[in-house]
A and B are shown apart, each in its own frame.
Chain A
Amino acid sequence: MHDFEAVIGVEVHAELETQSKMFCSCQVLDVTRAEPNTAVCPVCTGMPGVLPVVNRLAVEYALRVALALQCQVAPVSVFARKNYFYPDLPKGYQISQYEYPLARHGRLLILTTTGERAIGIRRVHLEEDTGKLTHVNQEGQTYSLVDLNRAGIPLLEIVTEPDLQTAEEVRAYAVALRSVLRYLGVNSGDMQKGVLRIEPNISVRRQGSQEFGTRVEIKNLNSFRALERSVAYEIQRQIETLQNGGRIIQETLGWDEGRGVTVTQRVKEQEDDYRYFPEPDLPPLTIEPVWIEQIRQGMPELPVAKYQRFQQQYGLGPYDAEVLTAEKEVADYFEQVLAAAPQASPKVVANWITGELFGLLNQAGQDIATVQISPQALGELIQLVVRAEINQNSAKLVLEEMFTSGEPAARIVVARNLTQISDPDQIADLVSQVLRDNPTQVEAYLGGKEPVLKWLFGRVMQAARGRANPQVIQGELERQLAEMKQG
C-alpha cells in the first residue's frame, strides 16, 4: 500500500452566468426550474443555415478567471468543433476550443492541513453547454426526453496539471476554485444544480515511477463531500486492483453516494474519435492587450490575497482568515462589523461571526446574504459588550433575538432589562446573600475545596439573572470568602 502514489488532475466545467447564451441571444435560465424548451432558437437547436456569434461578456468572464488563475492569455485562440452524436447535442458537434485555448499555464494556491500549495492550471477554454436528457422507464417503455434550454449556455473548462495527490487536496482545490469563481461573480458555485461540475481523473503508480498509470474519470459529483469520498475510494480501489494482479481500464465512472462506491458509466471515446477541426463558422478569437488591461484593473481582491491580508492586517490566525474569506460576502461583512465596533479587537469580531452568527445561520439554514442583522447592528452589539454595558451571556441572548426580530441591540437590552450590573454594592449584597444561603458549600470551600468557588459564582450570577459583571462577582466572592477565612 505504501509503495503506491496517486496522480490526480481535475477538469472543471463552470457555466458562465451571463444573461444570454454563448453563441445566440437566448436567455440563460435556471434549467432545473424553467419549463423545458422555453429558451431556444434556431442557433442553439442546430437548425440549418444559422451562424453563431460570440457573446462578449462570456469572453470577459473567461478572461477574469484566466487572470485570477495567473494564466497567460493567448492573443489569438481558435474555436473548434468536437464531433459526436448524442441527442443532447443538437448540431452533432459542440463548439469548443482545442489546440489553441483561450489561456494556459496558470496556478491556484490551495490550503490543506499540510499547508499551502500551488496547483498548476494547464488550460482554460470556452465552449458551450449541452442540452439535458431525462431517461424515462415506465410501463415497459424506455425512452429519453430532450430539453434544450441548457444547450448553448457559455461553459468554461478549467483543467489542472496532474499535480494533486490526495482526496483532501482535490477537495481543497475545488473549494479554492469555487471561491474564486464566486468572488469574480461569474458562477454561483451551485454543484447541486450542476452549474459547477468537478471531474477528477485519477491514476496510481509505484512511488518514484515516471510513467503514468491508466486513468479513470469520475463524473456526476454534486457536492464536495461526494468529490472527496469518491477520490479516496477510487485511489484505494486502484491500488488494491493492482496489488491483486488486476488491471485498470480507462473509463468514466459515476459515484454511488448511498453505497459509497464508484460504478462504471461508459467506456470513453478516444480523443481521435471526436475529429476536432477549426470551427469554420467563427473567426479566431483575438484578444487585444488593452482589453486584458481593463479587466485587470477591475479585478476584485481575490480570496488568497484577502486571506493573507486578514492575517497581516488584523492579526488573525490562518483558520479564522480562511473561514472569513471563503465567501466575499462574509469577508465584507466582517470588515463592516469591525468598522462599526472600533473598540473591539478583530479576533473578538471574528469570533462573534464565525461562532455565534454562523451557529444561528446554520440552525436556520440561512446564509449571510439573507441575514436580518446588518453589520452596523452587530457592531453596536459588540460595542455594548466591549464597554461592559452587557455581559457576554446577555449579548448572546440579544443576538438570538436580533436574528429573529431584526431589532437593534440597544432596544432589546432595555426591553428585556439586560443591562449589566457592575455596581459593587449591589453585587456585594448578592454575594453575601448567596454565602448565607449555602453554608455547607462555604464550609467546604474554606476547608480547601477550591472548585466550589465556581459553583458559588454560578449561584450569584443566577441570582443576578445573568446580568452581573463577572469580574466584579469574582472579585467580591474572593474578598468576602477571604474575610470569612480570617474571621
Chain B
Amino acid sequence: MELDPLLLSRIQFAFVVCFHTIFPVFTIGLASYIALLQGLFFKTQNPAWDRLALFWTKVFAVVFGMGVVSGIVMSFQFGTNWSNFSLAASNFIGPMLSYEVVTAFFLEAAFLGILLFGRGKVPQGIHLLAATMVAIGTFISAFWILSANSWMHTPAGVELIDNRFHVISWREAIFNPSFPYRFAHMALASFITGGFVVAGVSAWFLLRGRDPQANRRALSMCLWLLLFLTPLQAVVGDYHGLNTLEHQPTKVAAMEGHWETSTNVPLLLFAWPDQEAQENRFAIGIPNLASLILTHSLDGEIPGISEAPPEEQPPVILVFWAFRVMVGLGLLMIATSFAGLILRRGGRIYESPVFLKTLVGMISLPFIAVLAGWIVTESGRAPWLVYGMMTHAEGLTPSLTGWMALFTLIGYMLVYAVVFYAGIYYLTRVVRNGMLPEQAQASADHDADRPKRPLSAAHTPFDDDVDPVRS
C-alpha cells in the first residue's frame, strides 16, 4: 500500500494540536483563578485562600509543563509537515507567532519561575504580580494564535502574489471576520473548563469531608461563575455559527447535515450522513428549527453541502457528530449549573452526594467539548488550509514521504502516550494529597528533607518556595 504523506500529516497535525490544546484550555482558566485566589489572600489575609492557591499552583505546574513541551512541538510542525504553507503564509503567520513568543511566552516563562519558586523569596505583592502576569500571558498567547488560526479560516487583509501572501492591511488581517467570535468562544471555553475542574475537585474533597471550609468556598465560587458563563457560551456559539454561515456556508451545512439548498430546514437530532450518496440515513429532526436558528425565520433558506463539488466537501459525518457532541455537552453543562443554583437553598450543593458525584464525573467533559469544537472548526474547512485560497495538498512539504510522516506520527503517539499517562498519574497524586494542613503552611520544620520525602506535607516556609509546588 502506498502511504499517503498528506493524510498522515493531517492526522499528525490533528493529533499533536489536539494534545496540545488540552493543556492551554485548562491553564488559561486556572491561571486567572490562581491570580484571583492570591488577590483574595493579599486583601483579606485569610489563610484559606492561600492554601487553595498553593494547592492549585501545584496542579498548574504540571499542566503548564505539559502545555509548554507540547507547544514547542507545534511551533515546528508548520515547517516540518506544511513547509509550502509556511513559506506562502509566512508574511502573516510568521509575525503572529513571533509576537506571541515575545509578548506572551517570555512573560509566562519568566513569571512562572517566580510563581512556582518565589514563595518566601519575593514579597507577597510581587508574588501576586507574578500570578497576574502569568494569567495575562496566557490570554495574550491565545490572542495571537487564535488570530493566526482565524485568518486561515477567514483570510482578510492579504493579497496573493506569486504564491506568497502579502499583507496589505494588518488591522484587517489580525482582526479578521471570525477572530472575535473564536476568541470569545475559546476564552469562555477556558474559563468553563477551569470552572468545572475546580468544582469537580472541590466536590471530590467535600465527598470525603476534607477541608470543608476551603472547598465550600471554592465550589460556591465556581458554580456562580459557571451559572453565567455556560449560557453565555451558548449565545456566543450561536453568533459564531451565524458568522460562519456567512463565510463558510459549507461548514455550517455539514454541521447541520443539510445536503441540498432549501427552505424550512429541520434541526436534525440524529442522522447518519452518507457522503457517497450525498444524503442522510435515519434522520430524525425538529421541523423548521435549523432555519429559525440560522436565519431567524421559519422558512429561511440555507445553502446545502452540495453547493460545493464533492472534492471540496468536508468530511460531513465528522463535522456533524462533533458538533452534536459539543452542543450536547454545552447543554448538559448549562443544566448542571442551574441545578447548582436550585440546590443552593439550604446548602445542598455542599451536601447532596448525587450532585457532588455528578460534578466529579463532569471533570473531563469540557475537554471533550473543546476537542469536539476544534474538530468541527478544522475539519469543517477541509480541503482548505487557507479558506478558498490554498488547499491542504498545496501546503504540504514536497520532500515529505509517506514513511517519514508515519514514523513521526507513531513517534509522537508513543511519546505523548507516556507523557499523558505519567501526567495524569502525578496529577491524581497531587490531588489525592490535597492541601497542606494549616499549620504546615506556616510552621518551620527545618528537618524537612524534600528529596527523600517528596510528598511529605511538612516543610519550612523557606522550603515552601520549592517543595510544596515541586513535590
Chains A and B belong together in one complex = no
Residues of B within 8 A of A (CB): none
